[in-house]
Every structure is written in structure tokens, then in C-alpha cells.
Amino acid sequence: MPKTLLPTDFDYRALAEAILAELKSDRDRQIVAQRYSLGLDKRQTLEAIGSDFGITRERVRQIEKSATAKLRQSSSAELKQIDDVLRNHVHGQGHIALLDEVAAAVGANTPAERAYISFLASLAPSIELVDENDHYFATLALLPDYHKRRLTTLTDQMVKHLHQQGKPLPIDAIQAKVSPETPPQTLHNLARATKKMSHLDGYWGLSHWPQVNPRSIRDKTYLVLGKHGQPLHFTDIASQIAELGERKRDVTVQAVHNELIKDPRFVLVGRGIYALAEWGYTPGTVADIISDILKQESPLHKDEIVKRVLAKRKVKSTTIVLNLQEKDQFVRVSKATYALR
């Protein structure tokens, strides 16, 4: 998380209480507090609040809308402090910041504590608050430049560009094509804010792409091998899977091995060593590989056979020689020279 610019004495609870106290009606204060879950475990629904006060859900909505509008128009020192602090912080983060990270910077780490930051941000004149929904995590953006409509437009442009390219890209490459005038840090934070995109090792893609958001062990295995660029033992694959991404998770060696055996994208090329089939490796034993080589050209000297098999399998030279000597399908036709029987 970027270095915080928030003051250490930012008492978000006291500020929220002071702001709420500006509402003359006790009922209005309670309804706003319940809607933002201030001091509660979760946000109350319009129906639940209406039931508490004996009014309709629509009346609750009207009271909430009217009360919050009044608070946004406040000229109090508390609201000015809130706006100054959040504006400076969000500006320092690149004009867009995740609510959870802003909250964590002032020690608001639980959902109940983060509710206060959400409430204060919703009132700050310089801040556009995006509540969490199907497309975004809760996010703070700096007004007037980054209002909701522009955030949506930029997000859609990034998603469209990735669709067209069909592969993950670094944020600088996305920014150069989508919105050169928007700072890379701003687009980076917006990409983090939207649920439509994910990233891995500095590359951004669509959230359903396994290259940036691998969900299954098979996809993670494929990603690890692809990044490594050469065959790996299944224990090493398991170790590297555990280090993938920001949310590191342990995976058992046996689970990885089971997926390697079942998925045709992976080929056993040595004792416990696997490669990607797309690299040109084909399934089969050492004897199968020797047979394929001799079908293409025969007879061949033992050294040439060993050389060609080693290009396809991670085995010892002695293993290849033993196969030539002991397998019935091969015959020695002259000194150290073999053909198919």
C-alpha cells in the first residue's frame, strides 16, 4: 500500500459524531447512523429501519436523502477537516484510492470501523465515493476530474482494449492506448478498484483470464511452467504455485501431481519432471521417443539417438542406452548403431 498522507490524529469516530450532531432530529440522526451502520455490525435495510420507526421504506429513503444532503452543505470545521484530509490523501495516492486502504491508514480495519470512513467520504465535497457493487470495490476518487461517469468510461475503455489485444499488458501499455492524458498511477488504482480486471507480476488482464487470475491448480501449474520457460519437478511447481499473486496459498504436492497426470497440457519428460506440450514435447516413455526418432531416420548411432532423446526428455544418458540394449523393438545393426526391429 502507498505511504499514507493521513494525519495520525484523524479521529474519524469523533468527526462522524460531530457531523451527525448537526441534524436537529434525533430520528434523522438514528436513521442516517443505521443506514451507514455506524456503531453497528452491518448496514440496516430500509425495511428494517422503517419497521423500527413505524414508517414506510420509502419514507426512510426520503429522510436519509434529505439528511445527508443537509450534512453535505455543512460549513462546519469538522466537514472542512474531513474534506481536506481525504482530498490530500487521495490526491497523494494518484487521485483514486481503495476505501479499505484509506481506512487502514487511520487504523479502521474492521467492517464496523470502515463504515465511519465510508460515511465521512460520502459527505466530503471533494470526494466521489463509489460504494462496493458488482463491478467495483469501495473506492474514493478525487472530484471534479474523477466522477463516477468518467471512472466507468475509463474502466470500459481498458476492458475493451484488453479484449482487443487478447493478452495481459502492463498498465503503461494500456495507458498509452486508452488514455495517454491520465497518469499511469491513476489507471493502476482504477484497475485495482474494478472487479473486471486482475493482475499478476505487473501484467493486467480481464478477471476471468487464468493468466492473471488463475483459480484452479491446473491453471496455476500452467502459469508457473509458462513463466519458468523450461521443465520443472512437480515439487518445485507446487512451491512456486504457493507464491503466486498477492494472496499466497499453500497447495499440496500431491494435488499438483494429480493435476499434472490428468491434464494433456502437461507432459512427463523425466522422473517427476513435467513440461508443457505446447513446447513440442509428446507423451510417452523413453522407448517410445526412441521409436519415434528411428521411424524418422534409421539406423542411427547410439550417440545421435542419445542426443535427440535428451532434447525431448530430462533423463540420464545411461537410461537411454539401457532402453536401446534391453527393449525388444530395437536391434543393433553395427557397432553402437541401432534400428527398429
- With respect to residue 72, please indicate whether it lies within any of the assigned structural domains: yes
Instruction: Supply the DSSP symbol for 244.
Output: -
Which residues, 6+ apart, have CB-to-CB distance to 153 below 8 Å?
none
Residues 137 and 244 reside in one and the same domain = no
CB neighbourhood size of 333 (10 A): 12
Phi-psi map region of 202: left, alpha, beta (phi>0 left; psi -120 to 50 alpha): left
Residues 131 and 154 reside in one and the same domain = no
- With respect to residue 2, please indicate whether it lies within any of the assigned structural domains: no
Look at residue 198 in the predicted model and tell me its pLDDT: 95
- 43 is written with which cell numbers? 448496514
Which CATH number fits the domain that encloses residue 126? Answer: 1.10.10.10
Look at residue 2 in the predicted model and tell me its pLDDT: 45
Residues 266 and 290 reside in one and the same domain = no
Residues 322 and 297 reside in one and the same domain = yes
Query: pLDDT 10s digit of each residue in the chain, 341 long?
Result: 444 455 656 899 999 999 999 999 999 999 999 999 998 877 888 999 999 999 999 999 999 999 999 999 999 999 999 999 999 999 999 999 999 999 998 889 999 999 999 999 999 999 999 999 999 999 999 999 999 999 999 999 999 999 999 999 999 999 999 999 999 999 999 999 999 999 988 899 999 998 899 989 999 999 999 989 999 999 999 999 988 866 666 789 999 999 999 999 999 999 999 999 999 999 999 999 999 999 999 999 999 999 999 999 999 999 999 999 999 999 999 999 999 98
Tell me which residue of 260, 338, 236 sits closest to 295, measured CA to CA. 338
Q: Pick the last residue of a domain from 108, 142, 176.
A: 142
The reply to whether the predicted model has a pTM over 0.95 is: no
**What residues make up the domain containing 94?**
12-142
Residues 237 and 325 reside in one and the same domain = no
- With respect to residue 252, please indicate whether it lies within any of the assigned structural domains: yes
Look at residue 9 in the predicted model and tell me its pLDDT: 67
- With respect to residue 4, please indicate whether it lies within any of the assigned structural domains: no
Look at residue 8 in the predicted model and tell me its pLDDT: 59
User: For residue 154, what are the CA distances in angstroms to 42, 46, 164, 236?
Assistant: 31, 32, 15, 40
Look at residue 1 in the predicted model and tell me its pLDDT: 43
Pairwise CA distance, residues 341 & 339, whole Å: 6
- 230 is written with which cell numbers? 523450461
- 321 is written with which cell numbers? 542406452
Look at residue 244 in the predicted model and tell me its pLDDT: 80
Residues 254 and 336 reside in one and the same domain = no
Residues 137 and 233 reside in one and the same domain = no
Residues 64 and 166 reside in one and the same domain = no
Which residues, 6+ apart, have CB-to-CB distance to 94 below 8 Å?
2, 183, 185, 186, 188, 189
CA angle 336, 324, 263 (to 5 degrees): 140
Based on DSSP, count helices (H) and strands (E) in the chain, helices before strands. 16, 11
Look at residue 248 in the predicted model and tell me its pLDDT: 60
Residues 302 and 263 reside in one and the same domain = no
- With respect to residue 212, please indicate whether it lies within any of the assigned structural domains: no
Residues 332 and 264 reside in one and the same domain = no
Tell me which residue of 102, 131, 128 sits closest to 36, measured CA to CA. 131
Look at residue 166 in the predicted model and tell me its pLDDT: 96
Q: Pick the last residue of a domain from 277, 309, 324.
A: 277
Q: Are 147 and 141 in contact (CB under 8 A)?
A: yes
Contacts of range 163-167, beta carbons closer than 8 Å, 24 or more positions apart: 163/206, 167/205, 167/211
Look at residue 247 in the predicted model and tell me its pLDDT: 60
- With respect to residue 117, please indicate whether it lies within any of the assigned structural domains: yes
> How many domains does the chain contain in total?
4
Q: Pick the last residue of a domain from 237, 254, 277.
A: 277
- With respect to residue 303, please indicate whether it lies within any of the assigned structural domains: yes
- 294 is written with which cell numbers? 528411428
Phi, psi of 276 (to 5 degrees): -85, 135
- With respect to residue 209, please indicate whether it lies within any of the assigned structural domains: no
Residues 44 and 112 reside in one and the same domain = yes
Q: Are 95 and 5 in contact (CB under 8 A)?
A: no
Residues 326 and 238 reside in one and the same domain = no
